Amino acid sequence: MSEQSEQESDRQPAERLLSLDAFRGLVMCTLAVNGFAFASTAKRLGYGPDADVDTYAGSIWQFLAFHNTHPEWNSQFYVVGCSFWDLIQPAFMFMVGVAMPYSYASRRRRGHSTSKLAYHALIRALVLVALGVFLQTRNNWFDTNRLLTNVLAQIGLGYFFVFLLLGSRAKVQIAIAVGVLVAYTIWLGVYPPPDPLPLKSAESIQSLSVPEHVAKHYAIVTNAPAQMDVVILNLVPHENTIQPHAAGYATLNFVPSAITMLIGVLAGTLLRSSRDQADKLRRLIVAGVICMLTAVIAGYTVCPIIKKIWTPAWTLFSGAYVLWLIAGLYWVIEIKKWRAWTFPLVVVGTNSLAIYLMSMLSKRWISDRLENYFGSELFAGPYGPTIQAVSVLAILWLVCLYLYRSKIFFRV
């Protein structure tokens, strides 16, 4: 797409991309319903991850539980497989990137200058970080939980960087993305691990597909991003010393995850372009194939696929899946025009920030109210966690429906 056609596209109002709203709705409903709490229900039924299962029903419950939890460390299964739950945060960040070309083109049509757009992007980034900090520390004192690993904080930390690349040509954006991922991989690979590795760290790398001399650089707690949390965040004097996140998440994940948003920007720019729909679909699918092939090759050689520290291989691995997901929705909704089924998702997708904040802040309160009204036995049985998750989602969806009907949309 030429620079001139991009400028013309910015001046013309674009039809709202229903498939993006449906994409948002699918991601946010999955978050709000907490994966239907299948993992908790499976445990109550006796089909936990360590249980010996010899029935068809048990196998199904273990399958559902696996795809609604985060694996301990390694995120790659059967070469190209992963947990569905691991893809939710990449999908969240990707959809932010897809929306950016639409959002800022709309602001330009309303007469906003480049400096005003930059100011808006900076404020949005700061607000997202503040919201992430609040949500992450709402039940803890700030000095005991300073790691900025919440998804909103991660988006905010990388958002302005991605905004600065928004007007660049696709080749420039791709070149920068490749450069960042390669540099980050080199840094991860040269950071010296302790010798010997602590037991927890040594156990974490047993399932990685890379050679052992590479894997030791990617061990839980002792890897470079985890140690940088200790170094950087402890520069601010506090009563309690910062330690690496017990589950392995790291603040510096925002660097490679910003590339996930940038992949979304590339996809959004493509979807806004004047190319025909078949060409757009083909490019999304091919881009996903390239990301997946590169990720798998890296995952067996120089960089394992680990979601919790967002390795560059994970950036491309998860990027392939979210590209294919938006491609699938684009084909169904925009090309085939099968749209009637999307309404429940669109209701949520047009207010994605609202349902995210409501689910994070009021889930427990809604559950308590439902128990008070219908009785504590409502969630007491083996299927209680799933019934609870669906019930909470139903309440949140009704709130979103009210907001949708009232044309109230929360934005940052």
- Res 138: pLDDT: 61
Closest Cα to residue 314, out of 298, 301, 290?
298
Token duo for residue 139: 């039940």
Token duo for residue 68: 């609604």
Token duo for residue 326: 């938006």
> What gap in Å lies between CA 169 and CA 116, rounded to an integer?
21
pLDDT < 50 positions in the chain: 1-13, 141-143
Q: CA separation (Å) from 214 to 185, 193, 210, 247, 309?
A: 11, 10, 6, 21, 15
**Interval 240-280: pLDDT, tens:** 777 888 899 999 999 999 999 999 999 999 999 999 999 99
> What gap in Å lies between CA 163 and CA 153, rounded to an integer?
16
- Res 13: pLDDT: 47
**Interval 22-62: pLDDT, tens:** 999 999 999 999 889 999 999 999 888 878 888 898 999 99
- Res 137: pLDDT: 74
- Res 145: pLDDT: 55
Residue labelled with tokens 């010997």: 196
- Res 15: pLDDT: 62
- Res 213: pLDDT: 95
